[in-house]
Structure 1
Amino acid sequence: MLAASVLSDSALEHYRGGFENPGMFAPLASAALALAGAARAARRPARPASPLPFGAACAVGAAGLGFHVYNVLRRPGGLSWANLFYAAPLGAPAALSLAGLLGLAAGKVGRGAPTLARLPRGRALGLLTAAGLAGTSLEAALLHFRGAYHNPAMWLPVSLPPVGAALLAASATRPPAASPRLERLAQVWLAATAWLGVAGVALHARGIARQMGGWRNWSQNVLSGPPLPAPPSFTALALAGRAALALGPSARQGRDGTQREAA
């Protein structure tokens, strides 16, 4: 889901930029390969997915972040609010790398690996997802600040996901016996964050409809209006956070002592 969001968003933004740099095709191809790899792994869970498309997504995202930082700094004024508002967005390539990391983590979990990056897999995935939620919310805060928060609903993606990220990180790092209530609260908050991503698409569609010409002038308004593919990234990360909690050490134990994981 995160790869699909990045693919759609990058396609719109880079099309708006006229693909003036051939490197602007790279995130589209990388996100598409990551999406295809994830779909293949979902269809055949018994067969290990290749890590290559997800590793490529991490690399392309890191390179894209460097290009976007360069794009901001080379403009007149350098690191300024105007350039952060209207230059290449810094959060977009980071989301591609995050999609690649989640794909790599899913592959290891599917193979039964007990740890990720030398941490218990639930804790590692929880911390990674919490950081992604916080970063995505920061990107939304920047763009909604550009829009002057003219709609009170614009405060939701900058208030709800950060709390979910904090609850997720706290639940992932606490001992399991000390955090059953915290984990339940985190699950509920992440569920609300997932629905926020769905509602965000509807609100962005309404924002496009309110522009001159509305959806009749979709070829222009989809490019200039609020981005439709952006809100689903909250849904994707919230689902990943719930999966991290299900993989945590507080998951119920089976009779034979093995961990019984939530679906």
Structure 2
Amino acid sequence: MGEAKREQAGLRSAARSFFRLGQREAETVLAARRLNRAAGTLAASVLADSAVEHYRGSFKNKAMLIPLVVAGLTLTMSLHGTADRRPVAHQARDTSYLLAAATGLLGTGFHVYNVTKKAGGWSWQNLFYGAPLGAPMAILLSGVLGFCSERVRANGRRRPHRVFNLPAGETIATVTALGLLGTTGEAGLLHFRGAFHNPFMTLPVTLPPIGAGLLAGAALNRERRTRRLARWWMRLLTAMGFAGVGFHAYGISRNMGGWRNWSQNILNGPPLPAPPSFAGLALAGLAALELMKEARDA
């Protein structure tokens, strides 16, 4: 009788262990899918933004087609990763994300060259109206975050998660914080060009740096209060990113002819697809915070 009870207790213990392992695996996949979603949001923003901006430039350089193709591929792979519930990295997704990162680096070089070759070189005029220096970094960030998602997925049931042999949550939080600061710089330059004529134009240059600081604080500080505040701020930035599309649509409507003259005003008005890049980074920040919570609660 005692032996039967011990056998039953052993079976229950094994079942609990198996359940915990399955739960860990499911949490790993969920974290990876969150990062896939963040990478996809950034890729969608880049795809639409580069399509408009490079069309305005009449695709004078055939290399201007590359970010459209790469961003489209990255978006497709991100959607695939978001739907994929398997706890293993995918080679095709890995390749597309690395390609996106490389495209971002090359694109930055092209945009720097575009600015410097103009009369006057580094000047406010050329920074305002030349190729936007920070734009290619969005596809770079999409590739980096997507590649990190595959590294998290490859962790399987292991705890804590690692990326490049570093703690996954803290590493992704750092990348996201730097991305928020860079995107703020780009928005600040263009909103300065617009003389901040609408008070809401100050939001993309004030809220994201605070979010970057909160993410950095969450990575360095183990207090739950810090993580909780950072989580709410990332949600605020997500809302700001999507609300920005509405503000930019309003800005287009104020141009001569409004939306009746959409074919011209979309090219010359505030870029509709740009604000969701903040939302994509904020989603990555939320994923990083969840990874840190899992690591510290494990």
- Shorter-chain TM range is over 0.9
Please, which of 136, 145, 156 is the counterpart of residue 203 of structure 2? Answer: 156
> Matched residues in 1 for 2:165 and 2:195: separation?
43
**How do 1:80-229 residues align onto structure 2 when only pairs under 5 Å count?**
80-112=123-155, 114-174=161-221, 176=222, 179-229=223-273
Paired residue total: 251
Segments of 5+ residues of structure 2 without an aligned counterpart are: 1-40
Partner of 1:247, secondary structure, is: helix
* Relative contact order, higher structure (CA 8 A, sep 6+): 2
What is the identity, as a one-letter code, of the residue corresponding to 2:191?
A: H
Structure 1 window deviating more from structure 2 (121-130 vs 33-42): it is 33-42
Q: Post-superposition shift, 1:252?
A: 6.0
Normalized against structure 1, the TM-score is what? 0.92
1:68 aligns with 2:111: yes
> Matched residues in 1 for 2:119 and 2:111: separation?
15
Partner of 1:157, secondary structure, is: helix
Tell me if the contact between 1:41 and 1:48 (Cα under 8 Å) persists in the aligned partners.
no
Q: For each residue in 1:161-219, what CA deviation from the matched residue of structure 2 results, as whole angstroms up to 9, or x when unmatched?
A: 11001110111123x2xx21111111111111111011101100101111111111110
Partner of 2:58, secondary structure, is: coil
Structure 1 runs (4+) deviating above 4 angstroms are 249-252
Segments of 5+ residues of structure 1 without an aligned counterpart are: 254-258
Please, which of 89, 93, 97 is the counterpart of residue 48 of structure 1? Answer: 89
Where is the helix percentage greater, Structure 1 or Structure 2? 2
> Matched residues in 1 for 2:233 and 2:259: separation?
33
What is the identity, as a one-letter code, of the residue corresponding to 2:230?
A: A
Map of 2:61 onto structure 1: 21
> Matched residues in 1 for 2:96 and 2:235: separation?
29
Q: Post-superposition shift, 1:41?
A: 1.2
Tell me if the contact between 1:105 and 1:116 (Cα under 8 Å) persists in the aligned partners.
yes
> Matched residues in 2 for 1:45 and 1:18: separation?
41
Partner of 1:211, secondary structure, is: coil
Tell me if the contact between 1:45 and 1:110 (Cα under 8 Å) persists in the aligned partners.
no
**Structure with max Cα Rg:** 2
Normalized against structure 2, the TM-score is what? 0.82
> Matched residues in 2 for 1:197 and 1:97: separation?
19
Partner of 1:203, secondary structure, is: helix
What is the identity, as a one-letter code, of the residue corresponding to 1:159?
A: T
Q: CA RMSD in A?
A: 1.3
> Matched residues in 2 for 1:44 and 1:166: separation?
32
Q: For each residue in 1:102-140, what CA deviation from the matched residue of structure 2 results, as whole angstroms up to 9, or x when unmatched?
A: 110011111227222332000000000000011101100
> Matched residues in 2 for 1:84 and 1:119: separation?
36
